[in-house]
Amino acid sequence: MERTFIMIKPDGVQRSLIGEIVSRFEKRGLKLVGAKLLDVNKELAESHYAEHRERPFFGELVSFITSSPVFAMVWEGPNAISIARTMMGKTNPVDSMPGTIRGDYAVSLGMNIIHGSDSSESAAREIAMWFNEADVISYEKTI
Ligand code: CMP
User: Does 96 sit in the ligand 1 pocket, CB within 6 Å?
Assistant: no
pLDDT digit string (tens) for 14-34?
Answer: 999 999 999 999 999 999 999
The set of long-range contacts for 118-125, using a CB threshold of 8 Å and a minimum separation of 24, is 118/81, 118/85, 119/81, 120/2, 120/81, 122/5, 123/2, 123/3, 123/4, 123/5, 123/81
> Is there a binding annotation on residue 15?
no
pLDDT digit string (tens) for 88-106?
Answer: 999 999 999 999 999 999 9
pLDDT digit string (tens) for 42-51?
Answer: 999 999 999 9
Q: What is the ipTM of this complex?
A: 0.92
Q: What are phi and psi of 55, to 5 degrees?
A: -75, 150
Task: Compute the distance from residue 131 Cα to the ligand 1 centre, in Å.
Answer: 22
Dump the DSSP string for 24-41.
Answer: HHHHHT-EEEEEEEEPPP
Residues 6+ apart with CB under 8 A from 27: none
Q: What are phi and psi of 21, to 5 degrees?
A: -70, -45
User: Does 110 sit in the ligand 1 pocket, CB within 6 Å?
Assistant: yes
Give the single-character DSSP code of 52. G
Task: Compute the distance from residue 112 Cα to the ligand 1 centre, in Å.
Answer: 8
Tell me which residue has its CA closest to atom 2 in ligand 1: 115
Q: Is 52 a catalytic residue?
A: no
Q: 93 and 109 in contact (C-beta within 8 Å)?
A: yes
> Is there a binding annotation on residue 131?
no
pLDDT digit string (tens) for 39-89?
Answer: 999 999 999 999 999 999 999 999 999 999 999 999 999 999 999 999 999
